[in-house]
Amino acid sequence: MVERALPLDETLHEISVDVGRVPLRFPARVPWAIAMVLSLMLVGLFLVSITYLFARGVGVWGLNIPVNWAFAIHLYVWWLGLGHAGTLISAMLLLMGQDWRNSLNRFAEAMTLCAVVCAGIEPIIHLGRPWFFYWMFPYPATMGVWPQFRSPLEWDIWAVLTYLTVSLVFWYIGLVPDLATVRDRARRRGWRVFFGIFSLGWRGSALHWDRWRRCYRTVAVIAVPLVVSVHSEVSLLFASGQIPGWHSTIFPPYFVLGAAFSGFAMVAMIAIVMRHTFQLGDLVTERHLDVLAKVLLASGLMTAYGYVFEVWDGLYSGNVHEIATIHDRFFGIYAWSFWGAVFFNFVPLQALWLRSVRRNTVLLFLIATSVVVGMWMERYMILTTSLYKDFLPSSFGIYHASFWDWSTYIGMIGVFFTPFLLFVRYIPSISIFEDKEVLAREHEESGNG
């Protein structure tokens, strides 16, 4: 028999209740409070770190010449990568009519937003003079100097801004009908006003639904190429330089796939945690995890291809510097980051060939975690191993992450989780109406057959 996205014994009302109760009568207060306190502490650490950073200068990080880009930039890529899965799940799978997405897309998109915010902060705090970041925008300055639109960094600013905006509105218009649902479930007036305002007075009129659908699909259609373009541009930040290990045409697809890969891993982790914490087992079913795991495996294999090709690319070029860089990645002092990336990304991943593993939440969670770690190492490797020895031996230099590198990064994790926790607490974290739609269709099918 065909596998269903949702169990038939679920009713439309139960869906509203299941999901609606999360904001209205929050089930997991204690774990949430603990998580919130922790992530607020991290935010505190972040604030301390950047205060010190702004007071002293970027020298507080371990940066130097030649390695004048490290944590801030590699984390910028990493965060953005994590974010992409959200958009891909919502948009691409919507267009492909994958019902199973409906239980995941909402918080996947929320995760995207949080991740993109983190990604957006990184390049700004890494500036030597962060208070002048706005010089990257074309405003009529006194000296009449304009931004330089040939610079990949300039491209990235626009890409990230566009991506942030699109993710936000896409997430929001998807949310409006559910906000209305919660508004109508809410008993306390405060809640009614709160959700009433943010649901814009949505009534579920057929005419509105019609327009909404067209609009939502249009945005979805545009969001998919957007994701691809955004991370391609991120990769151009490196590929446009002539530094060995960067200067390669494979970078755009290599980066986009890696991004999707790490993103899906992040989604899997969060899905499992939420499913467990909020007893959403009926909505985020084993099938969801199973499909997610398959996607993870697929994107992982494509990323692995990227690795292989990158090495082959370098060797085939016959360029002594390219080959030297590959040699350094294999055996140099940062080899741990290369081999670490290879191991964490691909070795545990292979277990996902087994259905039993794909459906085992604990194992899947661990594998997803290892992928996120692996991608972290990959981004680090791509930056450091290329920069610390580029062309001229007299310029070679070693990079050590300083205490403040780490504290800024760890603090940033809090910046990621705090808004996300607020989201799960106050906003329906699973798409109510879309699940109802699916359920209704399934009832139909079961009725007919």
By CB under 8 A, the residues from 169 to 208 that bind other proteins are: 169-170, 173, 177, 180-181, 183-185, 196-197, 200-208
Residue 332 phi/psi, 5° resolution? -70, -175
Name, in order, each residue with C-beta under 8 angstroms of 423's C-beta and a sequence gap of 6 or more: 107, 110, 114, 429
343 binds other proteins (CB under 8 A): no
Question: Which of 243, 257, 284, 297 forms a contact with other proteins (CB under 8 A)?
Answer: 243
Length of the chain: 449
Nearer to other proteins, 30 or 139 (CB): 139
338 binds other proteins (CB under 8 A): no
Question: Which of 97, 190, 318, 449 forms a contact with other proteins (CB under 8 A)?
Answer: 318
Name, in order, each residue with C-beta under 8 angstroms of 359's C-beta and a sequence gap of 6 or more: 286, 289, 290
Site mask, other proteins, residues 355-394, x = CB under 8 A? Answer: --------------------------------x-xxxxxx
The distance of closest approach from Cβ of residue 410 to other proteins in the complex, given in angstroms and rounded to an integer, is 12
Buried/exposed code over 195-214 (b: 16+ C-beta within 10 A; e: otherwise): bbebbeebeeeeeeeeebee
Nearer to other proteins, 232 or 285 (CB): 232
Nearer to other proteins, 5 or 293 (CB): 5
152 binds other proteins (CB under 8 A): yes
Widest Cα–Cα separation across the chain: 76
* Helical ranges in 353-402 per DSSP H: 355-358, 361-387
Nearer to other proteins, 369 or 402 (CB): 402
Which residues, 81 to 110, sit near other proteins by CB under 8 A? Answer: none
25 binds other proteins (CB under 8 A): no
Nearer to other proteins, 61 or 365 (CB): 61
The distance of closest approach from Cβ of residue 217 to other proteins in the complex, given in angstroms and rounded to an integer, is 9
The distance of closest approach from Cβ of residue 115 to other proteins in the complex, given in angstroms and rounded to an integer, is 18
Q: What DSSP designation does 101 have? A: G
- Classify residue 392 as exposed, middle or buried by CB count within 10 Å of its CB (0-12, 13-18, 19+): exposed
Closest CA to 122 of 223, 38, 252, 234: 234
Which residues, 414 to 433, sit near other proteins by CB under 8 A? Answer: 432-433
**DSSP assignment string, 127-155:** SSSGGGGGGGS----TT-----TT-HHHH
Alpha-carbon gap, residue 432 to 20, rounded angstroms: 8
Which residues, 60 to 79, sit near other proteins by CB under 8 A? Answer: 62-69
Q: Please work out the total of residues on this chain that contact other proteins, with binding judged by CB under 8 A.
A: 131
Residue entry with tokens 């939420």: 274
Nearer to other proteins, 6 or 292 (CB): 6
The distance of closest approach from Cβ of residue 35 to other proteins in the complex, given in angstroms and rounded to an integer, is 26
Question: Which of 304, 324, 342, 373 forms a contact with other proteins (CB under 8 A)?
Answer: 324
Closest CA to 118 of 43, 182, 174, 52: 43
Nearer to other proteins, 107 or 170 (CB): 170
315 binds other proteins (CB under 8 A): no
